[in-house]
């Protein structure tokens, strides 16, 4: 049986880019020319915006695990919900508007992607092929030219970006005290707590990232062998 080769859909790659591929940074930032105090009435009162942001970024990159949810609008729109264990891998779901839903598991250098039925029906008209791939994970490695690029979803980049804000503004975010830095569309929100955490990041006017469940253990489990097929057979 000849397999149709099609590769990773462009929309899925766009969502991956929104999550941090190509060196995008998650660092909350403030203007280093204006170290004004943030408007905190809680445990961070008295600290400058720079000091709060430095602490929050340190907590983000030092976390042993966390949950990251993202939304991208416009071209290549979609959402994702991932549990990350930096240095070990990640697991979760990706939804791409018009292309379908995908489950992803990354453990070390190994990667599995399971598209849903809607995706496969778009790619294949052959009932025989659909029976073969239905419910299966496509397997590959992080070094693959196709599936491999999706492993960037599991990586928090340390790459810096230009400053884009001044002092912070107090607000309530998801039911907890928080401080917002920057402006809508290019903004970071940090919890107003003794150990500040990055709660939300507007990477651009079209992409938003939410972070939660810091240091909550993440279980990474490889799919059973009888539920996987070779991604290379499909251009992945």
pLDDT band at 112 (very low <50, low <70, confident <90, very high): very high
125 in a structural domain:
yes
2 in a structural domain:
no
108 in a structural domain:
yes
64 in a structural domain:
yes
pLDDT at 236: 65
Choose the most confident range, by mean pLDDT, from 35-49, 92-106, 147-161. Answer: 92-106
**Which CATH number does the domain housing residue 101 bear?**
2.50.20
pLDDT band at 65 (very low <50, low <70, confident <90, very high): very high
- Structural domain including 43 reads 10-226
5 in a structural domain:
no
pLDDT at 5: 44
Q: Is the predicted pLDDT of residue 13 greater than 70, yes or no?
A: no
1 in a structural domain:
no
- Output the six-digit token pair for 9: 């859909």
232 in a structural domain:
no
Q: What is the pTM of this model?
A: 0.83
Q: Is the predicted pLDDT of residue 227 greater than 70, yes or no?
A: yes
pLDDT at 150: 80
The residue-averaged pLDDT of 141-163 equals 70
Q: Is the predicted pLDDT of residue 158 greater than 80, yes or no?
A: no
Mean residue pLDDT across the chain: 78
Q: Domain count of the chain?
A: 1
């Amino acid at each position: 049986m000849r397999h149709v080769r099609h590769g990773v859909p462009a929309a899925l790659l766009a969502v991956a880019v929104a999550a941090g591929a190509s060196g995008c940074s998650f660092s909350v930032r403030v203007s280093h020319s204006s170290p004004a105090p943030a408007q905190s009435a809680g445990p961070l009162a008295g600290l400058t915006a720079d000091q709060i942001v430095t602490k929050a970024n340190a907590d983000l990159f030092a976390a042993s695990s966390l949950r990251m949810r993202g939304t991208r609008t416009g071209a290549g729109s979609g959402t994702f919900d991932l549990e990350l264990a930096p240095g070990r891998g990640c697991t979760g779901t990706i939804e791409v508007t018009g292309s379908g839903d995908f489950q992803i598991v990354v453990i070390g250098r190994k990667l599995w992607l399971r598209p849903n039925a809607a995706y496969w029906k778009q790619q294949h008209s052959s009932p025989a092929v659909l029976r073969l791939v239905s419910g299966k994970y496509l397997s590959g490695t992080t070094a693959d030219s196709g599936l491999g690029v999706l492993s960037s979803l599991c990586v928090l980049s340390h790459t810096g970006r230009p400053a884009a804000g001044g002092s912070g503004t107090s607000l309530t975010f998801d039911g907890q005290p928080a401080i917002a830095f920057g402006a809508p569309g290019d903004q970071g929100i940090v919890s107003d707590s003794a150990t500040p955490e990055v709660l939300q990041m507007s990477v651009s006017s079209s992409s938003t990232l939410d972070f939660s469940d810091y240091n909550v253990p993440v279980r990474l489990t490889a799919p059973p062998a009888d539920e996987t097929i070779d991604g290379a057979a499909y251009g992945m």
